[in-house]
Chains A and B, each alone.
Chain A
Amino acid sequence: MFEYAPAPESRSVVDIKPSYGLFVDGAFVDPASGGSFKSVNPASEEVLAEIAEAGADDVDRAVRAARTAYEKVWGPMPGRDRAKYLFRIARLIQERSRELAVLESLDNGKPIKESRDVDLPLVAAHFFYYAGWADKLPHAGFGPDPKPLGVAAQVIPWNFPLLMLAWKIAPALAAGNTVVLKPAETTPLTALLFAEICQQADLPAGVVNIVTGAGDTGRALVEHPGVDKVAFTGSTEVGRAIARSVAGTRKKLTLELGGKAANIVFDDAPIDQAVEGIVNGIFFNQGHVCCAGSRLLVQESVADRVLESLKRRMAQLRVGDPLDKNTDIGAINSAEQLTRIRELSDAGSAEGAERWSPPCELPERGFWFAPTIFTGVTQAHRIAREEIFGPVLSVLTFRTPAEAVEKANNTPYGLSAGIWTDKGSRILWLADRLRAGVVWANTFNKFDPTSPFGGYKESGYGREGGRHGLEGYLNV
Chain B
Amino acid sequence: MSERVAVRKTYKLFIGGKFPRSESGRSYLVQSANVSLASRKDARDAVVAARAAVKGWAGATAYNRGQILYRVAEMLEGRREQFVALGVPADEVDAAIDRWVWYAGWSDKLSQVYGGANPVAGPYFNLSAPEPTGVVAVAAPEEPALLGLVSVIAPAIVTGNTVVVAASPAAPLAAVTLAEVLATSDLPGGVVNILTGRLTETVPTLAAHMDVNAIDLTGVADAELAADLEIKAAENLKRVLRPAPADHDWYADPGITRMTTLLETKTVWHPKGV
A: residues with CB less than 8 A from B are 125, 141, 143, 236, 239-241, 243-244, 246-248, 250, 255, 257, 412, 414, 427, 431, 434-443, 446, 448, 450-454, 456-458, 460-461, 463, 466-468, 471, 476
Whether A412 and B236, one on each chain, are in contact in the complex, defined by CB atoms closer than 8 angstroms, is yes
From residue B87, how far is it (CB to closest CB) to chain A in Å?
A: 33
Between A and B, 13 residue pairs with Cβ closer than 8 Å are A241-B234, A243-B230, A243-B234, A247-B228, A247-B230, A431-B266, A435-B264, A436-B266, A440-B269, A441-B269, A451-B128, A451-B267, A457-B213
From residue A451, how far is it (CB to closest CB) to chain B in Å?
A: 5
A468: contacting residue among B124, B128, B133, B235, CB under 8 A: B128
CB-CB under 8 A for A437 and B270, given A443-B124, A448-B120, A451-B126: no
The contact size tier of chain B is 35 or more
On chain A, the residues within 8 Å of B260 by CB distance are 471
**Closest residue of chain A to B130, judged by CB?**
A468
From residue B29, how far is it (CB to closest CB) to chain A in Å?
A: 33
> Which of B65-73, B111-119, B197-205 participates in binding chain A?
B111-119
* Chain B window 125-148, contacts with chain A (Cβ cutoff 8 Å), 1 for yes, 0 for no: 010100001000000000000000
**Closest residue of chain A to B114, judged by CB?**
A141
On chain B, the residues within 8 Å of A451 by CB distance are 118, 120, 126, 128, 267, 269
On chain B, the residues within 8 Å of A456 by CB distance are 133, 264, 266
* Chain B window 206-240, contacts with chain A (Cβ cutoff 8 Å), 1 for yes, 0 for no: 00000001000000000110111111011111010
Whether B267 and A437, one on each chain, are in contact in the complex, defined by CB atoms closer than 8 angstroms, is yes
CB-CB under 8 A for A448 and B118, given A141-B113, A427-B270, A454-B265: yes
CB under 8 Å from chain A, chain B span 67-109:
none
* Chain B window 230-274, contacts with chain A (Cβ cutoff 8 Å), 1 for yes, 0 for no: 110111110100100000000000010100100011111111000
From residue A400, how far is it (CB to closest CB) to chain B in Å?
A: 18
Whether A443 and B120, one on each chain, are in contact in the complex, defined by CB atoms closer than 8 angstroms, is no
CB-CB under 8 A for A450 and B269, given A244-B231, A412-B236: no
List the 6 closest pairs (A to B, CB-CB), nearest first: A248-B227, A247-B230, A243-B234, A448-B120, A450-B118, A244-B234
Residue B121 at the chain A interface, CB threshold 8 Å: yes
Kindly state the separation between the CA atoms of A250 and B237 in the bound complex, as whole angstroms: 17
CB-CB under 8 A for A458 and B234, given A437-B264, A438-B267: no
Kindly state the separation between the CA atoms of A442 and B270 in the bound complex, as whole angstroms: 6
Whether B267 and A450, one on each chain, are in contact in the complex, defined by CB atoms closer than 8 angstroms, is no
Residue B122 at the chain A interface, CB threshold 8 Å: yes
Whether B237 and A255, one on each chain, are in contact in the complex, defined by CB atoms closer than 8 angstroms, is yes
CB-CB under 8 A for A443 and B271, given A448-B118, A451-B120, A466-B118: yes
**Closest residue of chain B to A141, judged by CB?**
B113
Kindly state the separation between the CA atoms of A454 and B226 in the bound complex, as whole angstroms: 26
Whether A239 and B237, one on each chain, are in contact in the complex, defined by CB atoms closer than 8 angstroms, is yes
On chain A, the residues within 8 Å of B239 by CB distance are 461
Kindly state the separation between the CA atoms of A456 and B233 in the bound complex, as whole angstroms: 15
On chain A, the residues within 8 Å of B266 by CB distance are 431, 434, 436-439, 456
Whether B113 and A461, one on each chain, are in contact in the complex, defined by CB atoms closer than 8 angstroms, is no
From residue B258, how far is it (CB to closest CB) to chain A in Å?
A: 11
Kindly state the separation between the CA atoms of A248 and B223 in the bound complex, as whole angstroms: 7
Kindly state the separation between the CA atoms of A460 and B236 in the bound complex, as whole angstroms: 9
B128: contacting residue among A240, A248, A257, A452, CB under 8 A: A452
Whether B121 and A441, one on each chain, are in contact in the complex, defined by CB atoms closer than 8 angstroms, is no
On chain A, the residues within 8 Å of B269 by CB distance are 438-441, 443, 446, 451
